[in-house]
Structure 1
Amino acid sequence: MHDAAIQLIQGARFPGSSTVTDVWIGGDGVISAVTPAGALTELDGVSAASARTLRADGRVLTSGLWDEHVHLGQWAQQSSRPDFVTADSPAAALELAAGYLAPDLSGSAPTELIGMRVRGGDWGGLSREQLDSVSSRVPIVLVGLDLHGAWLNSAALAKYGFSPDHSAHVVEDECFGLVAELDRTTDEALDAAVDLAARRAAALGVVGVVDFEIRWSFDDWTRRELGGFRALRVESAIYPEHLDRAIDCGLGSGSPIGTNGLVSVGPLKVITDGSLGTRTALCCEPYDGGGHGRELVAPAELSSLLARAKRAGYWAAVHAIGDRANAQALDSFGATGAAGRIEHAQLLRSSDIARFAALGVGASVQPAHLIDDVPSMRAEWADRADRAFPLASLLASGANVVLGSDAPVAPLDPWHAIAAAVTRASAGSPAWVPEERISVAAALTCSMRGPLAPGVGDHADLVLLDSDPLTAALPIGPAGFRPPGVAATLLGGVPTHLTADLAHTATGELA
């Protein structure tokens, strides 16, 4: 990162435009002028010749990207663990596990295996006997793709305090508790990992995240801000078990954390059902194996929480994946008048789509889950396929749709989410309900808090791209959407990412 703010971005284009433009940034980190290239030689006492200048050389300038749903601490730690997402069967998962536990050339072998993003829900999971066949002495924990379930061998079950007769599969609260234990570390190590993850996000054009870490994280962010964290804007959520403490501290959504203006209090997060991968998403129709999923928060309790959040100055973020969970969440928003949005909004009744706009409730969707969940949707929701991830229908209804990753469930990469929303398919596969695809422009807009063409008065939270995503990525072919390279990311005009070649061309002692 560079401490000096850019004062002039010279020779940029906006998405979809061939006009070359200069963008001037004031000392308050807000765009003060947008003019044809070279039209102004001075503004507010700053000359073009002496301004700290970023020469865009025709690159494309647009608003920075937001990941509206991320668990940043978990992503920071778990992204370095073995990824099992390619394993498409129990045999493939067991083979991967054996490979990771194999001794290296020096003869040393891991003393524990923690694997992430396992597709166990797609093929019935793993038994203790299967995992013990890989090793009965070395603890093995394979965490499911959606983080709502995990599979453990005998050694891991014993290590993490489960009863001897517990099955290999742990779900929901047991899994959340297990993952929290797996992630236990020192504050120093966690902060270093978060800082690195944030810098990597900035290199992808990310300027902000909504952080849904399941812990009292205000102390974490206060410490990080004091330690010099400057890579992203962060809105840090709280959970119901911490609501009393937050209210006693005088905090509400938007309250600043620290003094640099980058970190603030986010929403109250409420988890009302499970996930598709564990067959715990709460649905109107039963699963093939029976049951409708899990109701983790009763409707009356949810309404009470939302009403209390409203009184305390919080907007609400309600996790709902199944169509019954979404309907109940909309009912509670309607009954209380609370502000907020539904996180995931994965399966919706057709009659509920229009209710988002009518109630002013946002839909916070993670399109990469669509790609990951196709096998499970095909197995469990084939008769409701047209109602899964109805992005185009939500947008057409006037709903406010925002996109995110849910990292570490999917990588913290907004271009991955955009590609999934635009194609609704992995490379070489047919689109899942293709009529629900959305345009690149729409997907970008849903990934930003600023406009595609930033103007005077907009925050200078900006990204400079090597190519125009509205044209260079089209037509979208079998290989999918091709994301542009990110040359620079600015936060209030301050670079949080610059490619080496661009840093060398910048003037005014930026590098």
Structure 2
Amino acid sequence: MTSLDRVPPLSETLPATLPSTRSASQLGELPSSLTLSRVRLGPGGPLGSVRVAGGEVVAVGAEADGTEGPVIDLDGRTVLPGLWDAHVHLGQWAGNRLRADLSGLASAREVAEAVRRHAAGPSAGEVLMGQGFRDGLWPDVPHKALLDAVCPDRPVALISADLHTAWLNSACLALVGRGDHATGLLREHECFEAIQALPEVPDETLDAWAAQACREAAARGVTGVIDFHFSDNLADWSRRAAGSPPAVRVQAALYPRHLEAAIERGLRTGDVLPGTGGLVRVGPLKLFTDGSLNTRTALCCDPYPGLEDSPEAYGIQETPYDELVRLMRRAAAHGVEPAVHAIGDRANTLALDAFEAVGCRGRIEHAQLLTEADVPRFAALGVTAGVQPAHATDDRDVADRHWAGRTGRAFAYGDLLAAGARLEFGSDAPVSPLDPWPGIAAAVLRTDDERPAWHPEQRIPVRDALAASARGRSRIRVGDAADLVVVDVDPLEADARTLREMPVHATLLGGRWTHGSF
């Protein structure tokens, strides 16, 4: 994370609903037993009860009725398995509310004017951070000169919505050691390295932001995340959980530079990190095959329109195939599952080829554009498709332009599900908000505005979307951890807006309330 505008006290940033939201550190002792009564048991399910004891579900249905411990009358609300966000960058999301919001701006000049307004505020001298621009459809081109004209002295760093592009002014380029950069528009590795070179936020500040972000996620029914933040996640989350247990479970991903240290410690994917109270586990190894759609660096079988004569006409291959296989084989041999970023169809083919060569299970993150031949390979190879359905609606116009004629196989959740693939939904926050419900709605509806569904053949049923948001769990089962979410409306009966904005009444994590007032 980097230095932003003035960091306000947390009391200034807490949402108005927080008094009814309890963090894990505020919960006290685990109740010996509690019963959720008069609750609908899953979407479309019957009314019944759920009894929780020792952090687990011990009874469901009529046999759960009893008087041991507190009995919570939920008045016909629906209880679901706790939801997971299977792809977040939590550090970036946590600090995102302190950045200039650039989403929805339609040109580079509009962004420059937004920077002019923000630069007039406090904290002169600190890096002015902005987040969320999408230049894939702009009529003009981002350039450092536009930012220099409105903010010549204060460093400005603007990050695209897909996190794969950074737009810096001259002062910021000098700050990160790239003063001779011709345009100030940095993509892929250049972007990641430049952002890493910016001044860091103190650990205690970032940890406070992360704790707040976890509480806000719990208020939307989230009980776990896979954190792909580009840092030493194992160290960060060990420190945070030791200080104050997070309100969600965390699988902390690692990157190649941390792989050997993890192997030396004997850490495997799924292992609990010591000292975290069982809430933090080792996640997968994050690897990259390509870039992104908006940046036109996703590696594709066909060239991007207008770039046919460019050296990068087909996108960018981030990791050579042989190196990808080597890293995956090294990780898999020591129990660390790979999670391979692949967006373009050519990138997904390479990623699946690598999984087949290594013979290991793991994940492909995004899987946005697929060849028809690759769709059944996910199930055949046991590879999970970690997808972000909100991107399908966010990026439909960009895809229609840059993947013209191919969008029938873009964000192909219906085809993947029909072929037996395991889907796990995430947000890719801060690319999309850390809130599972807009993604669930996007997968079900394939639109988030008044337009008809985009490729409606790729819609999936509500039940399947809920299961993909709950690590495959579609119902409450005896013996499962008591990670539960109570919603005011049965998702099967919700209209489009209600599904997208689902009112969450309460959330439990291991039998403890992380959201709700009882």
Q: One fold, TM greater than 0.5?
A: yes
The answer to whether structure 1 residue 440 and structure 2 residue 466 are counterparts is: no
Q: 1:80 to 1:438 in 2, by over 3 A?
A: farther
Cα drift, residue 144 of structure 1: 0.8
Q: Tell me the SS of whatever aligns to 1:122.
A: coil
Equivalent in the alignment of 1:318 = 340
Taking the TM superposition and a 5 Å limit, the aligned residue runs for 1:77-226 are: 77-103=95-121, 112-123=127-138, 125-182=141-198, 184-226=200-242
- Which of 281, 284, 287 does residue 298 from structure 2 map onto? 281
1:185-243 C-alpha deviation (Å, 9 max, x unpaired): 11111111110000000000000001112222222111112112231111111111211
| Other-structure match for 1:387 | 409
Which residue, out of 249, 256, 280, partners 2:265? 249
Check whether the contact 1:427–1:480 (CA below 8 A) recurs between aligned residues. no
Match of 2:479 among 438, 446, 457: 457
- Matched with 1:509 is none
Q: Does 1:353 align with 2:351?
A: no
**C-alpha contact 1:468 1:484 (8 A) present in aligned 2:** no
Counterparts of 1:462 and 1:35, CA distance in 2: 15
Structure 1 runs not aligned, ≥5 long: 43-47, 504-511
Does the CA contact (< 8 Å) of 1:253 and 1:315 recur in 2?
yes
Q: Which amino acid aligns with 2:61?
A: T
Query: How far apart are 1:110 and its partner, in Å?
Result: 7.6
Q: In the TM superposition, what is the alpha-carbon distance from 1:101 to its structure 2 partner?
A: 2.4
In structure 2, what is the Cα distance between the partners aligned to 1:8 and 1:423?
Answer: 35
Contact 1:148 1:176 in 2 (8 A): yes
How many pairs align? 484
> Residue type of the partner of 2:46?
T
**Of 232, 256, 281, which residue of structure 2 is paired with 1:240?**
256
Q: Which moved more, 1:372-381 or 1:263-272?
A: 372-381
2:449 to 424, 427, 448: 427
1:179: how far off? 2.4
CA separation in 2, counterparts of 1:133 and 1:211?
37
1:8 and 1:331 mapped to 2: Cα distance? Answer: 49
The normalised TM-score by structure 1 is: 0.90
SS, match of residue 406 in structure 2: helix
Shift of 1:160: 2.4
Residue 419 of structure 2 corresponds to 397
- Residue equivalent to 2:75: 57
Give the AA of the match of 1:302. Answer: L
From the superposition, tell whether residues 41 and 310 of structure 1 become closer, same or farther in structure 2 (CA, over 3 Å). closer
Q: Distance in 1 between matches of 2:64 and 2:259?
A: 51
**Displacement after TM superposition at 1:158 (Å):** 2.0
Q: How far apart, in 1, do the equivalents of 2:503 and 2:213 lie? A: 18
SS of the counterpart of 1:409? Answer: coil
Deviations 1:374-406 (A, max 9, x none): 232122101211111001000010000110011
Shift of 1:61: 0.5
More divergent stretch after superposition (93-102 vs 268-277): 93-102
Instruction: Kindly provide the amino acid, as one letter, of the partner of residue 256 in structure 1.
Output: V
Corresponding letter in the other structure for 1:35: G
> RMSD in angstroms over aligned alpha carbons?
1.9
1:96 to partner: Cα distance = 2.0
Q: 1:332 maps to which residue?
A: 354
2:503 aligned residue = 485
1:15–1:469 CA contact under 8 A, matched in 2 = no
Alpha-carbon separation, structure 2, partners of 1:300 and 1:214: 23
Q: Which runs of 5+ in 2 are unaligned?
A: 1-21
> SS at the partner of 1:161?
coil
Inter-partner Cα distance in structure 1 for 2:45 and 2:254 = 44
Deviation (angstroms), 1:133: 2.5
Aligned to 2:375, the other structure's residue is in SS state helix
What are the Cα deviations for residues 309-350 of structure 1, in whole angstroms up to 9, with x where unaligned? 211011110000111110011011111111101000011011
| SS class of match (1:303) | helix
Q: Indicate how the Cα distance of structure 1 residues 430 and 97 shifts in structure 2: closer, same or farther if over 3 A, else same.
A: farther
1:408-427 alignment, distance < 5 Å: 408-427=430-449
Residue number in structure 2 paired with 1:370: 392
SS at match of 2:493: coil
133-142 or 232-241, which moves further after superposition? 133-142
The one-letter code of the counterpart of 1:72 is L
| Residues 429-458 of structure 1 deviation map (CA, whole Å, 9 limit, x = unaligned) | 332212111122211110002633302122
| CA positional deviation for 1:181 | 3.6
Distance 1:67 1:309 in 2: 23
Relative to 1, partners in 2 of residues 1:309 and 1:117: Cα closer, same or farther, differing over 3 Å?
same
Following TM superposition, by how much is the alpha carbon of 1:367 offset from its aligned partner in structure 2, in angstroms?
1.3
Match among 308, 333, 349 for residue 330 of structure 2: 308
